Structure 1
């Protein structure tokens, strides 16, 4: 049997043998006990057990002799490589070589083993089935008592999943997940590298900013999945238009960037070369796309900007190409434009106005003006018009800031401000007998009207101000109502149920309004001033005005003519049964106090008459 006893140096293990000696019957029994200290043997057995357990761990292991012939492998080795122990014993680990590493790589490995008796690093090996995989390998030299190498032990882990995770993280950080193109972050890095190269090379480079025309319309009408399919196809076409040395990136949304490298060092020739590539891109993007819901014909607007050793900022280059792209948009789209420095200054001014307009919303710089609307000679209401009284620049014309507000989306906030203040004015007039029946017409932009929360915003404003919705009229342009007639009609009906009226502004300037008009709950048409201006001299304008008036009356819709400036225009309209007017003949847009004074004077004159 085995027992453990505590000795001076710690527990010791003994093996005991007990034998009974023969004695006479009248003698007491006697025993012989033999003991042997087996502590060292037990320790060796335990170490062997631990070594065996470690050898058959989840890490692949190989033991070789000094000639690098395999003596033993564990089960994990077979699991990772696909080779059994019988297939590799007495062979060299080079049978796993992937071919991805050159002689220098293995020479450096052996040098480290000879010098340090240890090597660790990443290596690519090949499984039995031919699949190449990455592993993390540790090789340790085993030595005897004289420090002579007797064996090598290699332990390795398959790090395929880790490498894939690293690649996924890298792709997420530097590549667009939809198209696989470099994203903004990688684009800026490559653009900075390209600028640095220009310091050592005389060749010019070019930046091409590509924006798909009417992409939002495709997304809104066919769905985002179709829009995504288009973006993927655009990415393929752009890659086919450039060389390997060039970069195609997706900046975001429907915006793409191409960096053209190594163009001619002559500025004019480089411009011609870049223009040829841009024309190739335009042609490629003009070809029809086969999408889920049928063919789609798309176009793109392209801005080009050359750069050389004098350029320093990647972001400035992007701004220049962006400016040129907007020039292409303004030139009718489906075209390309080179950067014009004069436009840059205009953009700086626009950016300044945008920032100041945001401040104007919070610093009480905006003001409502009122332009009289009359019917049969009586003032029935007014159109509210926005004015910006800048503390330093004075009165800024709407033509300078309203289009900018439309472009930036700030028009939604501006429009909400106008609506809130118009409703507050109706509430203030509610207790004045001379003013409490006046209507106010408020212009609503397409951006504002199409907002998903527009109806709830109107409900909130009416509730907070207590304004009478029956005295409120929303003026929508033809272009706004024709974006999506079905959705527009539904939203208009929700607002009509609140009591709000609708007028179509600038009527006659659109193309499909006559066809769609009967489907919309419209109360009034506003004849555009462009027709009224020449009504007494131009037979065509007169015919258009007559047709609008007749059609409106047949549909039970009222008509008001805007831009009336002369008695002759007024009389001409009256003869054709149009008796509602707005224009300088009656009053220019004026502040609230002057409008109220005009209304009171008009009321007094009518009483005297």
Structure 2
């Protein structure tokens, strides 16, 4: 029971402070056992921690039975509601106290307890004025605490009429304190909440609950109310504490919005969109009408975002979402999937597959058209396009399945040249399945070092060998020969390229070490392709430094081939890395030059050594004037900046002759040498 009173003590609100401020002893004593169930701070200061002890033993000296003066010694005084006054001189401190007792019902045990308040009257004649002052202070403390709480406090009589308020309550409700006196408790409650309040207000103690309250102006606001009935001077009153939770509700709404809507565009996010997809799947399966799942990816957005900054990128995404919302119907759902990707759910409401496809094509073409329209951001113009993958359905499926299919179709649209849309079909599924198998086998091949390295010689004007390019070759036990054009992109997508790239570099460095004693090969330079993700690794340059130091090779014989897109991603960081690598002695080549977003500005900043003309410009150079013009321009850039320029993919004498006439000095291709193992070089 003592523990229960301690717990009860914790639950007392502001009135607990009033009791502790009183210059009086306050106890609660069980009238059967004489155990002290509660004591205030004043009591603890005088006698220490007495809770749980027998009163006449803890508060008196050398006493083993109840005090003779104690009213409880008279059984007639052990009556519920009985009030008693008596004086007693304490044998521990010698002080005389005037006690006021009250016999009350214990709400926890159901038994009777005595609430005892003792005032020190040892020097009554002298301290009468001090006693009055302390009483006044107690009242002032009560008023101060009553008005200092952040809650609005309203005290009602037994008829639930307002009899007192603190300073906060009128401010919350828009009344003056005088206006509130006499008003009914339900006068402050909005009509929709009255049934609830009418029920709980009859409970002796009510845990906090939410209602809508109404101000004098008629405006309502959400509030948290808790109430408790108290017996004061034999009169039952009810104290209600009110907190305005408008801001809390607004924050809850904001949290909910963030949970289901994209913070940038305010479109539904993946979580909410998934629910809508599941609803349409059920509807389509029930009525056999077709729905469509469109996966929209913005072409070239990544380049803009990386070169112009996220602020510009975000503004483009916001504008894009506005454009898309304008062309969809109210029955369709648009969401931002993440990054530069949007997803659109269309309810065609058509049972005929071909009619549904025609309807979807119309929407897809509208999307392509509005995305092509230039984006004007901060007086600058940005030209983008979109690639759209589409999956249609009219039976049971899942969000994940539709997403997988639409995502695959979207990549197929990109492969077709972007600014296009593609419907998912079984052939595309076959391609995706093949990719999954290749990735699985490739992961094993890399782990077991089953990827071989071939070397293709590079020649000069007189067809003398000046170096080689290291090329990955993979002949799988189950898949057979897998082209690098297939497995390298899959390694990129599957996150395997970094591990494999480091393996390739170390193998090449080992070969350079082997060739040091070869009179001819010791002079050959080896070119190594470096992927974007590999170059961006924070430890990439330090890995190369460690490898060169480990094998003690001539770093000048290592040429790293990087792409233009890699330089655009973070040009300042790229410049720093390239300068570090150049200080190590390595040379740098720009691979597939002319196929990306070439910029003379970055060429001027970078310490590069070579431009490599992409094979796509060499294939038709003999007959295509445009290709000839591009190659001529690249050779001119190389001469202007002092770079070596090498043409790759040279397969015929006609190509070779044409390139010689244009001023090209270095070549690579099947006309001269095919890729071969190091043993066959």
Q: TM-score of the superposition, structure 2-length normalised? A: 0.69
Aligned partners of 1:489, 1:318: CA distance in 2, in Å? 39
Aligned position for 1:352 = 437
TM-aligned CA deviation for residue 269 of structure 1: 3.7
Aligned position for 1:87 = 179
TM-aligned CA deviation for residue 430 of structure 1: 2.0
Cα contact 1:365–1:391 (8 A) shared by 2 = no
1:421 aligns with 2:507: yes
Deviates more, 1:290-299 or 1:368-377: 290-299
Deviates more, 1:218-227 or 1:256-265: 256-265
Aligned position for 1:29 = none
TM-aligned CA deviation for residue 364 of structure 1: 0.7
Cα contact 2:100–2:118 (8 A) shared by 1 = no
Matching of residues 101-116 of structure 1 within 5 Å: 101=192, 106-107=194-195, 109-110=197-198
Gap change, CA 1:503 and 1:159, over 3 Å in 2: closer
Cα contact 1:263–1:273 (8 A) shared by 2 = no
Aligned position for 2:170 = 78
Query: In structure 1, which of residues 467, 470, 480 is the aligned counterpart of residue 553 of structure 2?
Result: 467
Gap change, CA 1:270 and 1:498, over 3 Å in 2: same
Aligned position for 1:343 = 428
Aligned partners of 1:527, 1:295: CA distance in 2, in Å? 30
Aligned partners of 2:655, 2:202: CA distance in 1, in Å? 105
1:126 aligns with 2:214: yes
Aligned position for 2:414 = 329
Aligned position for 1:173 = 259
Gap change, CA 1:297 and 1:135, over 3 Å in 2: same
Query: In structure 2, which of residues 214, 223, 238 is the aligned counterpart of residue 135 of structure 1?
Result: 223
Gap change, CA 1:127 and 1:259, over 3 Å in 2: farther
Cα contact 2:186–2:197 (8 A) shared by 1 = no
Aligned partners of 2:628, 2:301: CA distance in 1, in Å? 39
TM-aligned CA deviation for residue 155 of structure 1: 3.8
Cα contact 1:134–1:160 (8 A) shared by 2 = yes
Query: In structure 2, which of residues 369, 378, 391 is the aligned counterpart of residue 305 of structure 1?
Result: 391
- 2:523 match: secondary structure: coil
Aligned position for 1:590 = 676
Aligned partners of 1:496, 1:317: CA distance in 2, in Å? 49
Aligned partners of 1:319, 1:344: CA distance in 2, in Å? 10
Aligned position for 2:475 = 389
TM-aligned CA deviation for residue 526 of structure 1: 4.6
TM-aligned CA deviation for residue 479 of structure 1: 6.2
Aligned partners of 2:516, 2:620: CA distance in 1, in Å? 39
1:157 aligns with 2:243: yes
Aligned partners of 1:51, 1:538: CA distance in 2, in Å? 97
TM-aligned CA deviation for residue 369 of structure 1: 0.5
Aligned position for 1:442 = 528
TM-aligned CA deviation for residue 368 of structure 1: 0.9
TM-aligned CA deviation for residue 506 of structure 1: 4.7
Gap change, CA 1:570 and 1:324, over 3 Å in 2: closer
Query: In structure 2, which of residues 76, 95, 101 is the aligned counterpart of residue 39 of structure 1?
Result: 101
Aligned position for 1:403 = 489
Deviates more, 1:354-363 or 1:6-15: 6-15
Cα contact 2:303–2:569 (8 A) shared by 1 = no
Aligned partners of 2:311, 2:536: CA distance in 1, in Å? 21
Cα contact 2:648–2:668 (8 A) shared by 1 = yes
Aligned position for 1:606 = none
Cα contact 2:99–2:118 (8 A) shared by 1 = no
Aligned partners of 1:486, 1:55: CA distance in 2, in Å? 64
Residue by residue over 1:166-216, the C-alpha shift from the partner in whole angstroms, topping out at 9 and shown as x without a partner, is: 334434433333333332233323333443444555544332222222221
TM-aligned CA deviation for residue 316 of structure 1: 0.8
- 2:521 match: secondary structure: coil
Aligned partners of 2:310, 2:535: CA distance in 1, in Å? 21
Matched length: 569
Cα contact 1:426–1:436 (8 A) shared by 2 = yes
Gap change, CA 1:287 and 1:116, over 3 Å in 2: farther
- 2:514 match: secondary structure: helix
Aligned partners of 2:273, 2:561: CA distance in 1, in Å? 44
Aligned position for 2:86 = 14
Cα contact 2:189–2:214 (8 A) shared by 1 = yes
Deviates more, 1:55-64 or 1:333-342: 55-64
Query: In structure 1, which of residues 352, 363, 369 is the aligned counterpart of residue 454 of structure 2?
Result: 369
TM-aligned CA deviation for residue 256 of structure 1: 1.9
Q: State the Cα RMSD in Å.
A: 4.6
Aligned partners of 2:158, 2:295: CA distance in 1, in Å? 62
Aligned position for 1:212 = 298
TM-aligned CA deviation for residue 347 of structure 1: 1.5
Gap change, CA 1:504 and 1:287, over 3 Å in 2: closer
Aligned partners of 1:120, 1:536: CA distance in 2, in Å? 86
Cα contact 1:113–1:119 (8 A) shared by 2 = no
Aligned partners of 1:326, 1:165: CA distance in 2, in Å? 40
TM-aligned CA deviation for residue 88 of structure 1: 1.8
Aligned partners of 2:628, 2:488: CA distance in 1, in Å? 31
Residue by residue over 1:52-75, the C-alpha shift from the partner in whole angstroms, topping out at 9 and shown as x without a partner, is: 899766543444467654343344
Matching of residues 264-343 of structure 1 within 5 Å: 264-292=350-378, 294-311=380-397, 313-343=398-428
Aligned partners of 1:373, 1:298: CA distance in 2, in Å? 38
TM-aligned CA deviation for residue 440 of structure 1: 0.9
TM-aligned CA deviation for residue 370 of structure 1: 0.9
Gap change, CA 1:112 and 1:514, over 3 Å in 2: closer
Gap change, CA 1:373 and 1:218, over 3 Å in 2: closer
Residue by residue over 1:129-167, the C-alpha shift from the partner in whole angstroms, topping out at 9 and shown as x without a partner, is: 6653222234567899xxxx9876544333334434433
Residue by residue over 1:488-540, the C-alpha shift from the partner in whole angstroms, topping out at 9 and shown as x without a partner, is: 66654443333223444456767958898676555445555566666777888
Cα contact 2:282–2:396 (8 A) shared by 1 = no
Q: Which has the higher contact order (CA 8 A, sep 6+)?
A: 1
Deviates more, 1:519-528 or 1:206-215: 519-528
Cα contact 1:441–1:475 (8 A) shared by 2 = yes
Q: Which runs of 5+ in 1 are unaligned?
A: 17-34, 596-609
Aligned partners of 2:496, 2:571: CA distance in 1, in Å? 24
Aligned partners of 2:371, 2:616: CA distance in 1, in Å? 38
Aligned position for 1:600 = none
Aligned position for 2:268 = 182
Cα contact 1:382–1:441 (8 A) shared by 2 = yes
Aligned partners of 1:273, 1:537: CA distance in 2, in Å? 44
Cα contact 1:118–1:141 (8 A) shared by 2 = no
